[in-house]
Amino acid sequence: MTRRTEPGGPHWRRVMAALANKDARIVYAETVLGAKVPGGPHGSTLSDRRRNQATALLLESGLIERKAENQLAASETIFRDLLTQQPRRQAQTGLDRFMRLGRIERYPANISERRELLARIVSEAFSPGEHLTERQVNERLLSYTDDVVMLRRYLVDFEFLDRTPSGSSYSRKMAP
């Protein structure tokens, strides 16, 4: 087996990145089915260079493996391995009980706890005095929630971020 994996097994981001690549999906489908896809989806054929790049991506992700005589085969364990990496849910305390895998699962109803949660996020995501556009702020907040508008509004309302009147620039306050 020639796949490179993260410590503890394959990484789901690498697998998803491979599956997001059109050429890699064609090569993966051919590997799983054991047959070339005539013309591929949408009538596309892969050049040797593109096929080799897609194969390398699939090998690196762990979706396919090299077997005897240099034959390629779909991994029979990749998805099971990825699922076993999911952390077991344990009773959490403090602010961690509002988070799941580093993202906000729910906002605390208690205002002081909400302020603490927002303080943690702003300290992780922004440097004091840094000036950012709304888009840059949204990109950073996306790692904490899909509803970046609400989180951004909370950060402004709780006075962790300053917003220019035009809304063109945001900055972290030196002290909340």
Higher model confidence: residue 34 or residue 10? 34
Mean pLDDT of the chain: 85
Sequential DSSP letters for 84-100: HTSPPP----GGGGGEE
CB under 8 Å to 78, separation ≥6 — which residues? 10, 15, 62, 63
Per-residue confidence band for 38, with pLDDT thresholds at 50, 70 and 90: low
Structure confidence at residue 8 as a pLDDT band (50, 70, 90): very low
Residue 21 has pLDDT above 70, yes or no: yes
| Model confidence pLDDT, tens digit, residues 92-145 | 678 889 998 889 999 999 999 999 999 999 999 999 889 999 999 999 999 899
DSSP string for residues in 95-152:
GGGGEETTEESS--SSHHHHHHHHHHHHHHH--BT-EE-HHHHHHHHTTT-S-HHHHH
Q: What pLDDT does residue 157 have?
A: 95
Distances (CA, A) of 75 to 5, 53, 61, 164: 13, 18, 10, 53
Q: What does the pLDDT look like over 141-164, one tens digit per residue? A: 998 999 999 999 999 999 999 999
pLDDT at 58 over 50: yes
Q: What is the mean pLDDT of residues 47-56?
A: 93
Provide the pLDDT for residue 7: 41
